[in-house]
Amino acid sequence: MTRVALIAHDDEKPEMIDLVRTYESLLSEFDLVGTGTTGQRISDETDLEIERKQSGPLGGDMQIGGEVAQDEIDAVVFLRDPHTAQPHEPDITALLRICDVHDVPLATTRTSAEYVLDGVAADSADD
C-alpha cells in the first residue's frame, strides 16, 4: 500500500488540515504516517487513520526519515513555515536530503503537495 508522511510546522497545521480534508477521499486509500502533533490533529479533525511518530522536537521527522531510507515511504508532505519556524520545530534539511538520496518526492507547499498527492495516486493506480 502507498505510504505517505504528513508533517507541518505549527503555523502550517491549519493549512495541512485543510489539505487533508480536501484530499480525504484519496488519502483514505493510503497508509498515513505523521509527526506527533500533526498526526493528532489529522486524527482528531478527520476520519483518517494515521500512525503517529514522535513530535517534531522529539525526532518524529527523523523517524520518518529512517522509513524513507528503508524504502517504506512513497511521498512526504512537509508544510513548513519559511518565515517564522520556531527552534523546536523539525528542520527539513536532513529529511530533504534523505528524500533526494532515495528519490522520494517531498512537497513543502500546498500547491506542490497537491501535485505530489495526485502523482502518487496515479502511480498507485498503475500498480
pLDDT value at residue 89: 59
Q: Is residue 85 part of a domain?
A: yes
Q: Is residue 84 part of a domain?
A: yes
pLDDT value at residue 31: 98
pLDDT value at residue 81: 83
pLDDT value at residue 91: 67
As for how many domains the chain has, the answer is: 1
- Please report the beta strands in the chain, taking only residues with DSSP state E, as ranges in sequence order: 3-8, 31-34, 51-52, 75-79, 106-107
CB 52 within 8 A of CB 36: yes
Give pLDDT < 70 ranges for the chain.
Answer: 85-91
97-121 confidence digits (pLDDT tens) = 999 999 999 999 999 999 999 999 9
CATH number of the domain where residue 78 is located: 3.40.50.1380
Q: Which pTM does this prediction carry?
A: 0.93
Question: Which of 10, 18, 47, 61 does the annotation list as catalytic?
Answer: 61
Q: Is residue 40 part of a domain?
A: yes
Q: Let me know if 118 is a catalytic residue.
A: no
Q: Is residue 126 part of a domain?
A: no
Q: Which structural domain range is residue 55 located in? A: 3-118
Q: Is residue 46 part of a domain?
A: yes
Q: d(Cα 103, Cα 76) in Å, to the nearest integer?
A: 11
